[in-house]
Amino acid sequence: MLRALVIAAVCAGSVVGPASGQAFFTLKGHGGPIMDIAVSPAGQIATASFDNSVGLWDGTAPAWFEGHRAAVNTVGFWSDDVFASGGDDFKVWLWSTAEGAGRPVAEHTAKVTDVAFGPDGQTMATASWDTTIGLTLVTGQDGPMADWQATRRKLTGHKAGVNAVTFSGDGKTIYSASVDGTIRSWRFDGPQVVSNVIVKHGFGVNELIVNDAAGWLAYGATDGGTRIIDLETRAQIADFTLGRRPILAMAYSDVTQTLAVGDGQGYIMLIDTEARKITHDFRASRSGPVWALAFSPDGRSIHAGGIEDIMYSWPVDTMSALEPMAGGTRSFLEKPESLPNGERQFKRKCSICHTLTAGSARKAGPSLHGLFGRKAGTVPDYSYSPTLDTSEIVWSAETINGLFDLGPDHFIPGSKMPMQRIVKKQDRDDLIDYLRVHTAQGED
């Protein structure tokens, strides 16, 4: 009966918003997948997206924070008034909710994957695929953003990209998880930093949660490993590995002592960390991964994002009776073999970033409407990289073929378009034929 009531509410467009609490709701407005979710101490939600933006939600109406020039991978609240974000453009931004604006305060040499804040209210740590952890000391936050001062240093030791970073409760230790299969601790001893490997998992570690008050660390890895270890002895306390891979998201509620784990097969597993047992194993997405998780401040709702451009929130107590994300039914393909090859190539290579209708619709890339014969870099509602702003390319069958034959990184070096190729000439030809028809018609 509950499932039927929720379906009816969705169809009627009356899904309850965040202000109601402990109710199923969705937040719609982004133009690409939801990559991360953060919740402020007061309960306000921020969402980071593949569409290069951060949404700050007041009820169901977002305020957009724009500045990144590529996908935003991580977002976190420093306080109710200040939050940070990091993205594929290698930049770390700080944002003031009062001023409705922000500015970059740090930069890595590869994409930024995570952000964390020390209890001193001044120190921020950022994880990056450049193998380093960035430490940024920010002062002047009690004044206008223009007066904020940032100083930087880096911690090195991982042998591959860093996926996750967090502080201990006293702020004297940082923990980091890496593609190199290790978790390291970084202990501050005056001006010196003492680093040690505390976990050797063997496969890349994607997610990390530390509860040093309770003496444990939880992590999730690319092979599906989901484990909790004792921080002092480094012995394994519990193993919740279920064989689904990879683990892509984790969140923890201090209030309910619940650990949430999202994976590449669309499940959210909830673990009672005190009883050390799984309480829910919810199919949260019909198809596609769970990339982002966050609890409401009271721990009674879990917010999630994935391949869709929608954030979903379920009340924990009744989530198993509620509907999952649509997943691949919106952006990807459920039955790719049923589509003509040109459309299949468009869905796989283009649809996540581009619309065929006039207007870029908050997508990560510009609208393709009227593509043929158009000069590159000229869609008025899209912010291009400097490379495209000065390009002499005119889109045609020949230039589109070259784009996917060579790959964007070689055809237009310096553009924001992700690196990808379509190797088979027939696939490129079929995509071009599809685009020639549908970019002229402006079909969605």
Q: What does the pLDDT read at residue 11?
A: 33
Closest CA to 272 of 283, 262, 284, 261: 261
Q: What does the pLDDT read at residue 311?
A: 97
Asked if 423 and 440 count as a contact pair (C-beta separation under 8 A), the reply is: no
The strands making up 173-178's β-sheet, listed across from edge to edge, are: 162-167, 173-178, 182-189, 192-200
Domains of the chain by range and CATH? 2-329 (2.130.10.10), 336-441 (1.10.760.10)
Q: What does the pLDDT read at residue 442?
A: 56
Q: What does the pLDDT read at residue 335?
A: 58
Q: Output DSSP code: residue 316.
A: G
User: Average pLDDT of each block of 10 consecutive residues along the chain (444 residues)?
Assistant: 34 40 88 96 96 91 92 96 96 96 96 97 96 95 88 96 97 97 94 94 97 97 98 97 95 98 97 97 92 97 95 95 71 62 88 86 86 92 82 92 88 79 91 91 58
Upper half-sphere CA count for residue 188 (Cβ side, 13 Å): 14
How far CA 218 is from CA of 91, 172, 364, in Å, comes to 28, 19, 33
Q: What does the pLDDT read at residue 418?
A: 75
Q: Which residue(s) pair with 57 in the sheet? A: 45, 62
Q: Phi, psi (5° rounding) for residue 379? A: -70, 120
What is the Cα–Cα distance from 211 to 308, expressed in whole angstroms?
A: 31
The 3-state DSSP class for residue 3 equals: helix
Q: What does the pLDDT read at residue 419?
A: 74
Q: Output DSSP code: residue 203.
A: S
Instruction: Write down the residue that tokens 């999202």 correspond to.
Output: 262
Instruction: Write down the residue that tokens 């490997």 correspond to.
Output: 197
Q: What does the pLDDT read at residue 337?
A: 65
Q: What does the pLDDT read at residue 275?
A: 97
pLDDT digits (tens, 9 = 90+) for 361-389: 788 888 999 999 999 999 998 888 788 88
pLDDT digits (tens, 9 = 90+) for 312-363: 999 999 998 888 887 654 444 445 667 899 898 888 888 888 889 888 778 8
pTM for the full predicted model: 0.85
